[in-house]
Structure 1
Amino acid sequence: MSGPPPQAWLNALLVLIEKLQLGLLWLWHAFGLTGDSHSQPAWPWARRVAGETLLIDLGLARQVGLSLCALVFAVLAIAIALAWRRHRGVLLAAGALALVAAPWPSASLLLGPAVPTSFHASPTRFSVDAIALGARVYAQHCAGCHGADGRGEGPLAASLAQWPPTLVSPLLARRADGELFWHVLAGIRDRHGQPTMPAFRDALGDREAWAVIDYMKALSAGNGAENNWPVPLRLPEMAIRCADASPLALSQWRGGQRVRLVAVDGAAPLPYEDPRFLTVLVTPDGRPPAQVPRFRAGCTATSPQAWQAVAAIAGESSARLAGTQLLADRAGWLRARGASGRQWSDADLVCVSGPGANTPRNAAETPDGLTALLLRMDAEPVRFVKGGFIH
């Protein structure tokens, strides 16, 4: 679900290409050569480097990498030649030879279609409030075609010229968030110019469009194949309160530590604190427990929307969510899902990544299943490619 095994050079290339395009965009915007689209700088060209193509075509990626190296060598040779007259001819010839010998890739393979919002970043931070808003928007405007479960089999799907794509797939990962945002508002047309999805620009504002994208990510995880999320998810942003302290944003409160989200409804005892991770209680109304016994977890998500958001991510109904647990790694990616009273094991992983993802572990190496699971999460960090770029 997180792409092919990571290769350091390919990761570096994708990151470099993304930064170069973003740098070009901001430079163009700073000089007034492009305006704004939906409050962010608009990508002014109809094409962009297709990072998603480089990800699957390693031959093309090598061509791009070698060509960039040749270009850098030529620029350095020219710079040195300007400052060093003695060997200027040799340096200029070497730079020209590098450019001629470089395996320049075909533009038709390297470039893909772009829209003005291709490089827009979502302002929602994947918050529980945005997910809850997105659920309402999705139910009103999207479920008729895409289905309540996101599998593209809604009650109106059969009447369409072509069936809607399923959202419970890597589809969301292949497209950048900014391009999903554009298609939600502007609609989608086929190669003949016929609409395959209506535009919602008159029905939705920017806030609702970003929110429904967040909900689609949660829906994709919750309705995907068991123990195999098609799209990696970050910890949803939410406010956390511990005892009488002021609420803090989860991203600020956790400080790079692992996090365990536990849904509790008051019927079962609170989970114990565990030094291996920080524990956050998610309650139906966002209220903390009336009493927290010693050694029990007491930090609570204050938003009432957290219960609904966690239910969507876990693929459970709100009525059956109590006892569900989600584990996040140190980088903030949700990696495992468990249930109250059940021992943790590798079978609880929902986001598998890394070269050792399918390597069996020796049970004798670790004292318990939870520790083994945490160590595996640390050893196999998520390499998530969104729209062709490493995140």
Structure 2
Amino acid sequence: MNAPPPQYWLNALLIGIEHAQLFLLRVWHALGLTGDSHGQPAWPWAQRIVGETLLIDLGLARQLLWCVAAMVFALLAVLVAILWKRRRLPVLAVGALALVVAPWPASSLLFGPAVPTSFHASPTHFSVDAIVRGQQLYTAHCVACHGADGRGEGPLAPTLSRWPPTIVSPLLGRRADGEMFWHVLDGMRDKQGAITMPAFAGELDDDDAWAVLDYMRVLSAGTGATVFGSWPVPLRLPDLSVQCGNNPPQTLARWRGSQRVRVALADGKPETLPLEDPRFQTLVVTRDAQPLRNVPQFRAACIAVSPGAWQVFTRIAGLDDTQQRRVIGTTLLADRQGWLRARGAPGEDAELLCKVGNVAAKQDLTALVLEMDREPVQFVKGGFVH
């Protein structure tokens, strides 16, 4: 019998580690042993368990998994010893032996530097409004070093002591959100203490910093789709306002978890709206973001009414907004959990840009939908596994 694929047990292990650290943080905060930082409980220790390392070092992850199993076994031994007094010493000895023989990983590999905001969560909900705001701030403060495409090749990059990292990278994308937030506001230094990125705390407030990070995710996806033909890290559907027919607008987040979504870039003319597809809830995105009128039968009737939706989705798709023939008719497909998975060019089959395992680059739509359902995006702390 073959062992289960690594992403399944690794995903479970990393989720457990994240929840354990979050639980410890909440307990510490409730006891008054740590305060707040930027409006959320502050991580009080200088280190944390680094899920990013476990993600790329399966040997270390297996060591930790065996150690967790040994600790659970030892705990059960203690419970049995309490209930079975006649065999207390042998049972405790077996539990202690499990802890002794467990392959404890080196602390230098398991733990990494932490900051007070390491476990902070973004309050923006990855909304279109925040992304548009983030683009403005990125252009004003970040382009000079990180470049317009996010690849670290801005005009000031050659003058720096260290070349700026590309944000079009799975490794950078797997950094914890709270730590990226901290570095935006507090800056970065090398081991000698020299500044490698300036602090923007005096120019950006907390919401601004989170908005910049939201736009960086979109920029990473768009550049990755253009240059490499894939999204470096999985991307959620941005939240926005949706209006279906004459019904009041609602948030796109209400669809998450219940249905797949097909985003269709269209010109808004009734006769050119995409046909409904029972496999998806279709969301039309137009330049003017105006409610649809006189929609013909069987045509999609839900439209994004957030003004920045067109700008955001064309960027995610890696499209040049000036090339209308390539833009109008483009579709983006999201799974039931709200993860964007595929892009379809006008008149062509959709292509997975967020792949799990070895799958064909292009498939007919039914096969692609089945692939999306069969291979969901796997969550890990500090990033995601396609």
CA separation of 1:389 and 1:313: change in aligned 2, threshold 3 A: closer
Question: Residue in 2 aligned with 1:270?
Answer: 273
In the alignment, structure 1 residue 373 sits paired with structure 2 residue 376: no
Question: Residue in 1 aligned with 2:289?
Answer: 286
- Is residue 245–residue 301 contact of structure 2 (8 Å, CA) maintained in 1? yes
Question: Residue in 2 aligned with 1:153?
Answer: 153
Which blocks of at least 5 consecutive residues in structure 1 are unaligned?
Answer: 364-368
Q: Distance in 1 between matches of 2:106 and 2:143?
A: 40
Q: Distance in 2 between matches of 1:47 and 1:103?
A: 21
Q: Which residue of the other structure, out of 326, 331, 335, is the alignment partner of 1:329?
A: 335
Q: How far off is 1:113 after superposition?
A: 0.8
The two structures have a TM-score, normalised by structure 1, of 0.91
Q: Distance in 1 between matches of 2:328 and 2:380?
A: 32
Question: Residue in 1 aligned with 2:32?
Answer: 32
Q: How far off is 1:49 after superposition?
A: 0.6
Give identity over the alignment, percent.
Answer: 62
Structure showing greater relative contact order (alpha-carbon pairs closer than 8 Å, 6 or more residues apart): 1
Q: How far off is 1:214 after superposition?
A: 0.7
Question: Residue in 2 aligned with 1:311?
Answer: 314
CA displacement, residues 212-255 of structure 1 (integer Å, 9 cap, x when unaligned): 11100100110113421111101111111111111111121355
CA separation of 1:60 and 1:148: change in aligned 2, threshold 3 A: same
In the alignment, structure 1 residue 230 sits paired with structure 2 residue 236: no
Q: How far off is 1:314 after superposition?
A: 1.3
Question: Residue in 1 aligned with 2:74?
Answer: 74
CA displacement, residues 100-143 of structure 1 (integer Å, 9 cap, x when unaligned): 22221111111011111111111111111111011001000001
User: Pairwise mapping of residues 125-164 of structure 1 onto structure 2 (< 5 A)?
Assistant: 125-164=125-164
Q: Distance in 1 between matches of 2:113 and 2:384?
A: 15
User: Pairwise mapping of residues 130-209 of structure 1 onto structure 2 (< 5 A)?
Assistant: 130-209=130-209
Could you list the runs of 4 or more consecutive aligned residues of structure 1 that deviate by over 6 angstroms after TM superposition? none
Question: Residue in 2 aligned with 1:358?
Answer: 359
Q: How many residues align?
A: 377
Which blocks of at least 5 consecutive residues in structure 2 are unaligned?
Answer: none
Amino acid at match of 1:299: C
Q: How far off is 1:389 after superposition?
A: 6.8
CA separation of 1:229 and 1:389: change in aligned 2, threshold 3 A: closer
- Is residue 51–residue 381 contact of structure 2 (8 Å, CA) maintained in 1? no
Q: Distance in 2 between matches of 1:58 and 1:157?
A: 34
Q: How far off is 1:53 after superposition?
A: 1.3
Amino acid at match of 1:18: E
- Is residue 232–residue 384 contact of structure 1 (8 Å, CA) maintained in 2? no
- Is residue 67–residue 104 contact of structure 2 (8 Å, CA) maintained in 1? yes
Q: How far off is 1:307 after superposition?
A: 1.1
Q: How far off is 1:385 after superposition?
A: 3.7
The two structures have a TM-score, normalised by structure 2, of 0.92
Q: Which residue of the other structure, out of 247, 253, 256, is the alignment partner of 2:255?
A: 253
Question: Residue in 2 aligned with 1:366?
Answer: none
Q: How far off is 1:70 after superposition?
A: 1.4
Amino acid at match of 2:251: A
Q: Distance in 2 between matches of 1:359 and 1:288?
A: 37
Amino acid at match of 1:343: E
- Is residue 326–residue 338 contact of structure 1 (8 Å, CA) maintained in 2? yes
Give me the CA root mean square deviation: 2.1
Amino acid at match of 2:17: I
CA separation of 1:105 and 1:388: change in aligned 2, threshold 3 A: farther
Q: How far off is 1:65 after superposition?
A: 1.3
- Is residue 54–residue 61 contact of structure 2 (8 Å, CA) maintained in 1? yes
Q: How far off is 1:21 after superposition?
A: 0.7
Q: Distance in 2 between matches of 1:255 and 1:32?
A: 36
Q: Distance in 1 between matches of 2:48 and 2:148?
A: 33
Q: How far off is 1:383 after superposition?
A: 2.2
Q: Distance in 2 between matches of 1:68 and 1:390?
A: 22
In the alignment, structure 1 residue 240 sits paired with structure 2 residue 242: yes
Question: Residue in 1 aligned with 2:111?
Answer: 111
CA separation of 1:14 and 1:142: change in aligned 2, threshold 3 A: same
Q: How far off is 1:359 after superposition?
A: 5.7
Q: How far off is 1:162 after superposition?
A: 1.6
CA displacement, residues 143-193 of structure 1 (integer Å, 9 cap, x when unaligned): 111111111111111111121111112143220111110100000111111
Question: Residue in 1 aligned with 2:120?
Answer: 120
